[in-house]
Amino acid sequence: MLKNITIGQYLPGESFIHKLDPRTKIVLSILFIACLFIINKFVGYTVIVGFLLGVILIAKVPFRFIFNGLKPIFLLVALTAIMNIFMVRGTEGTEVFSIGFLKAYPEGLSIAAFMAIRLILLIIGTSLLTLTTSPIELTDGIEKLLKPIGKEIAHELAMMMTIALRFIPTLIDETDKIMKAQKARGADFESGGIIKKAKSLVPLLVPLFISSFRRADELAMAMEARGYRGGAGRTRMKMLQFSYRDTIAFIIFGILLIWCLAVRLY
């Protein structure tokens, strides 16, 4: 399950999406999230789904990889759907079904399905940003976008955000190794209910924290040994530059944004 988490991972490639400027991909990702919240009808998501399928095909990201990345959030999606089903009140006498004092109405079912679709599309869309953008490009893109608040502050913020994002797969891999080591010593992480499984994960925290602090210390020493001194006087081997690809991407996304606004208003 831990291996299926795709946030923070990068798949190298030479596709149209990979070659977009990182600033373009960051801005379009933010606008994509806005589009998901602008739409308030199911018909609006048909175009969104088509758009995401097109991006996945162009970026040549395996569909199996996308599906596996959704597995860890299925429980979250299910909990969100259940809460909406039973918390949204509808017209009395129109109950679809009931469990004790809990009643499900058509309005609740509709909102539950709507929120589940929105959450799934949100995870897929944001995952595509890190899957098609290397950590270095992501750092440079965030730094450029945050430049108006101050060059050095922007660099430090971009560096912290990217390192945190990049360490997600590393910590997941470390957790998996610790679990396998403890299983070999007789630990049981699978039997019992949810509460017992949660308690069985507590022994993982101490070695995981120790490993995280050790990696952070090693990273700090490596950066210091290479003369890293923050954003002051820092140069780049590759300068970010917009191209015709970015123009095409903005035009296509502009059409998508107009569609979302049209669905919302009309």
Put simply, whether the predicted model's pTM sits higher than 0.85 gets the answer: no
Q: Structural domain boundaries of the chain?
A: 2-133+236-265, 162-234
Report how far residue 151's alpha carbon sits from residue 165's, in angstroms, rounded to the nearest whole number: 21
Q: Hey, is 60 helix, strand or coil? A: coil
Contacts of 214 (CB under 8 A, 6+ apart): none
62-103 residue pLDDT tens:
887 787 777 777 777 888 888 878 777 766 657 777 777 777
Nearest to 130 by CA among 175, 162, 98: 162
Instruction: Give the chain's mean pLDDT.
Output: 79
- Distance from chain centroid for Cα 202: 25
pLDDT tens per residue across span 218-251 = 877 887 787 776 655 666 667 777 888 999 999 9
Question: Does the pLDDT of residue 3 top 70, yes or no?
Answer: no
